[in-house]
Structure formats: C-alpha cells, structure tokens
Amino acid sequence: MKVALVFYSETGNTLSVAELIQAALKARGHEAVLQRLVPIGEVHPGVKDVKFESLPDLAGYDRIIFGSPVQAFSLCPAMSSYLSSAPSMDGKMAVLFLTEGFPYPWLGGNRAMAKMENLLKSKGAAVKRAGIVHWTRKDRPKQIDSVVVSATEDIIA
C-alpha cells in the first residue's frame, strides 16, 4: 500500500511522530513517503494565506496521514492554509494526528482536530482521527505509541 504523510512541524515534534509512523508502516511492508509542508518566510498565528516552497504531490496516493501542531488554541496557520486551498480529496482516506504543548485536549487540540477534519471532509476525504500527543505530559511516550498504532492501523484498514 502507498501512503503519504503530509505534515507541518515548526520545532520538530510533529516530524518525530511522522517519522515513527513512517517506520511502522515500512516495517509492515508498506510504502510511506514523508511530505513536509515548508512555508516561505515566517508564519505567525493569525496569518491566513501561507505560501509554500512546494506543495505535496498526492497523485497516486489514496491514503494520506496528516499531522500538525496546535498553535494559538487551534490548527496551525500552515496546515489550515494548505488544507483550505488543497485540491479535491474525493476518494481519499485521511488519518489525522496532532501534537499539542498543553496537557489537555480542550486547550486547543479538540478545536484543531475538528478544524482539520472539517476542512478535509469539505474536500471530499473520508476522515479518521488517530489522536493527539500532549507533549508536556509524563505519559508522552505512551501517547506517541498509541497515535502511531492508531494511525498505522487506520490507514491500512
């Protein structure tokens, strides 16, 4: 199975989870390609129209994992901007994960997840949520394991 992992990461946390999911998929014999969103210039919360160095190439990928950090109590502007102007995702399955600084999902994670899900559904994708990793929690390793297992199982189901 061919899987694309489309993610944004400012300080490396979301990247590290994306890499673990990629490794888990590869260990099960699947092709998994990381496609990082790299904005042009600095992006601050509140910015709406983010431009990217290049856009993900999703031709040939019907299964896509999207990963993003929470910023300013919502979905970060880079992912929000990318998904708002992304092409149709008709027929594609999307599995979502987030990383969040605060320890509880009501401090931005729930809102960010709902926004990411709604944007993808508006593009026609079938959406599943793999979960949120709360970066400052003591049980972060357990949360990472759970998100990696869910994302891997959900995308190949």
**Hey, is 135 helix, strand or coil?**
coil
87 forms part of the interface with ligand FMN (CB under 6 A): no
What string marks each residue from 42 to 61 as x (binds ligand FMN by CB under 6 A) or -? ---x----------------
In this complex, which beta carbon is closest to ligand FMN, that of residue 1 or of residue 40?
A: 40
In this complex, which beta carbon is closest to ligand FMN, that of residue 108 or of residue 131?
A: 108
Cα atoms in the Cβ-side hemisphere of radius 13 Å centred on 32: 21
Of 89, 124, 107, the closest CA to residue 6 belongs to 89
Residue choice 4, 14, 86, 148 for contact with ligand FMN (CB under 6 A): 14
What is the CA angle 56-91-35, rounded to 5?
15
Residues forming the site for ligand FMN (CB under 6 A)? 9-15, 45, 69-73, 99-102, 107-108, 135
